Amino acid sequence: MRSEVLTLALLVGFCTWAFRVFPTRADLSTLAPTGILARFLAATGPAAIATLFVASVMPWLQGGVALPMIGGIAAVLAVYAGSRSVVAATLAGAAVYGFAVWGLAFWA
């Protein structure tokens, strides 16, 4: 393995670890609600949803099957409308999308 690839993998792995661990370990009670760090941490949920949405839309835009995307979007909207939970909506959308892709590959 080239040293550049190893260095990049280690750097990305460390940043991912730090990004996930920092909010759970840090005392964030003293942060100002309008501060830059508080706004950054509050934006991670919507950023995750946007990432999953883009990941599911890209194959469709490149000529893939639209059924998994439509099912995932419908699941996100339905679960969010019913529960107002971003986490549940994200998980439901990812699950429906994944099962739809699996089902299409399995039955094709």
Task: Give first-to-last CA distance, the chain, whole Å.
Answer: 37
Gyration radius (Cα) of the chain, Å: 18
Residue-level length of the chain: 108
Give CA–CA dist 45/43, Å, rounded: 6
| Residue ranges for the chain with pLDDT beneath 70 | 64-65
Report the pLDDT value the prediction gives residue 70, as an integer from 0 to 100.
87
Q: What is the residue type of 38? A: A
Closest CA to 97 of 62, 49, 44, 63: 49
- The 10 Å Cβ neighbour count of residue 73 is 16
Quick check: 89 and 72 in contact, CB under 8 A? no
Residue 79's pLDDT is what? 96
pLDDT of 91 reads 93
